[in-house]
Amino acid sequence: MKDKNYNHIKAFLEYPCRMAEDLLFPRRCPVCGGVVMPKGRLICPACLKQLSFVSSPVCMKCGKEIESREQEYCEDCLRRKKSFERGFALLNYDNRAAVSMAAVKYHNKREYLDFYARAAALRFEKQFKQAGIQVIVPVPVHASRLKARGFNQAAVLAKKLSAELGIPWEELLVRVKKTDPQKGLGSSDRLKNLRGAFEAKETVRTWERVLLVDDIYTTGSTAEICSRVLLGAGVKQVFVFAACIGHGA
At 199-234, the pLDDT tens digits run: 999 999 999 999 999 999 998 999 999 999 999 999
Label residue 30 by pLDDT band (50, 70, 90).
Answer: very high
pLDDT above 50 (res 1): no
The residue type of 184 is: G
Label residue 124 by pLDDT band (50, 70, 90).
Answer: very high
Predicted pLDDT of residue 12: 58
pTM (two decimals): 0.89
What's the pLDDT tens digit per position in 235-248? 999 999 999 999 76
The more confidently predicted of residues 246 and 18 is: 246
The residue type of 138 is: P
The vertex-175 CA angle with 172 and 176, nearest 5°, equals 120
